[in-house]
């Protein structure tokens, strides 16, 4: 029998309501499981007697397990290889940024270490982006909302997660209902993440973008644009044929009008493909009426057979300068993190770099509560 994840909110609440149990009992159950991941149901105190019977017969505390844990040599990145109940593997990545690095207004930046979890929403991906390792896997299956939330549970045992980005394996908006439900769980107790600390990335699923703000108000949107014209998008992102650039831009205009939020634009820099000065001007013209932050992403190699090369530092710098100075668009260059453990952008594909493998995760026993 296949058990359900206790973090599948709709499932446990439906079972409780059917049995006449207040569905809000899910919250203390989640809190106890987070604090005691190896617990058995009877250890959870103060539940209605009928709740224990339902939990025993239909749910598991965690349907997934931490298969392997890898740490980058510089200590900034940790990659979790998570085994699902059906034996499939997905990856989540913990990234640690020091917000004090650099200057702001001529003064040192305030802050400290900011920890972000990059979450997967599917096993594999059907989008087929030619620069992305996950796309080479093809599409295997959608994750349930509980399997998505469990990535946060596993990661919270090794780091205090403050931010979530749905930029792992899969296209989040192709698993729309599960992603929305998972985010809603993360926003409530015991996780209590702020919506402004959650970002959902998409290649541009137009019909889903149109619903996102109403379903998840305050959650940030990132768009994997990667080219300023439809022809190049189709060349490197086959799924773009189904979502013409003008329709995508119209949906983003509506999203921004309704949400009053900046939109993050992801742009991978591919040598000789989309990184020339003419492309920077085309991108600037395309986005000059939007409130956006453009994130230029150095291409991360996905094997010796890759058809693409990484843009030169000079090309990336010139590209950024045009967007900033000519079009006054805030533009950043993503710091490459986790390349040595294949945890960098575009590198997520189920693999095990044995020389970095940590055979067992150190249990953290001091997680009293998760007010993230």
CB atoms within 10 A of CB 56: 12
d(CA 80, CA 350): 10
**Residue of 11, 91, 150, 266 marked active site:** 91
Q: Which residues contact 261 (CB under 8 A, 6 or more apart)?
A: 218, 220, 221, 291
Three-class SS state of 47: coil
Give me 73's structure tokens. 């040599």
User: Cα–Cα–Cα angle for 310, 102, 282, nearest 5°?
Assistant: 45
Cβ pair 6, 146 in contact under 8 A:
yes
**Residue of 125, 129, 132, 345 marked active site:** 345
Give whole-number Cα distances, 356 to 28, 71, 340, in Å. 36, 7, 9
**In angstroms, how far is the first alpha carbon of the chain from the final one?**
34
Give me 174's structure tokens. 């192709």
To the nearest 10 degrees (0 to 180), the angle between helices 206-215 and 245-259 is: 10
Region class of 92: left (phi > 0), else alpha (psi between -120 and 50), else beta: beta
Instruction: For residue 118, indicate whether it is catalytic.
Output: no
Instruction: For residue 132, indicate whether it is catalytic.
Output: no
d(CA 102, CA 122): 35
Per the listing, tokens 């996905």 go with 302
Q: Which helix (H) or strand (E) holds 61?
A: none
Q: What are phi and psi of 212, to 5 degrees?
A: -60, -45
Nearest to 283 by CA among 335, 214, 218, 331: 331
Nearest to 341 by CA among 41, 68, 46: 68
> Active-site positions?
91, 345
């Amino acid at each position: 029998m296949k058990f359900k994840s206790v973090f599948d909110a709709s499932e446990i609440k439906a079972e409780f309501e059917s049995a006449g149990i207040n569905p809000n009992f899910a919250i203390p159950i989640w809190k106890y499981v987070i604090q005691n991941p190896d617990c058995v149901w009877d250890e959870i105190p103060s539940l209605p007697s009928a709740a224990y019977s339902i939990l025993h017969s239909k749910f598991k505390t965690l349907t997934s397990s931490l298969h392997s844990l890898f740490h980058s040599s510089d200590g900034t990145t940790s990659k979790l290889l998570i085994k699902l109940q059906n034996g499939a593997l997905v990856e989540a990545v913990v990234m640690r940024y020091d917000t004090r690095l650099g200057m702001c207004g001529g003064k040192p930046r305030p802050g400290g270490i900011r920890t972000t979890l990059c979450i997967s929403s599917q096993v594999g991906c059907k989008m087929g982006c030619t620069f992305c390792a996950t796309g080479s896997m093809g599409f295997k299956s959608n994750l349930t909302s509980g399997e998505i939330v469990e990535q946060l549970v596993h990661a919270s045992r090794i780091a205090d997660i403050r931010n979530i980005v749905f930029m792992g394996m899969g296209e989040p908006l192709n698993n729309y209902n599960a992603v929305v439900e998972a985010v809603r769980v993360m926003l409530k107790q015991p996780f209590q993440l702020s919506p402004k600390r959650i970002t959902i990335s998409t290649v541009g699923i137009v019909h889903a973008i149109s619903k996102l703000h109403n379903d998840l108000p305050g959650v940030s949107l990132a768009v994997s644009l990667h080219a300023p014209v439809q022809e190049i998008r189709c060349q490197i992102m086959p799924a773009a044929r189904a979502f013409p650039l003008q329709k995508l831009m119209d949906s983003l205009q509506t999203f921004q009008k309704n949400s009053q939020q900046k939109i993050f634009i992801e742009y991978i820099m591919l040598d000789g493909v989309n990184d020339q000065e003419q492309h920077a001007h085309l991108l600037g013209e395309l986005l000059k009426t939007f409130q956006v932050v453009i994130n230029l992403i150095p291409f991360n190699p996905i094997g010796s057979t890759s058809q693409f090369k990484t843009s030169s530092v000079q090309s990336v710098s010139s590209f950024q300068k045009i967007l900033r100075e000519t079009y006054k668009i805030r533009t950043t260059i993503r710091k490459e993190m986790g390349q040595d453990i294949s945890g960098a952008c575009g590198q997520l594909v189920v693999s095990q770099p044995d020389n970095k493998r940590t055979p067992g995760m150190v249990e953290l026993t001091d997680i009293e509560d998760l007010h993230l």
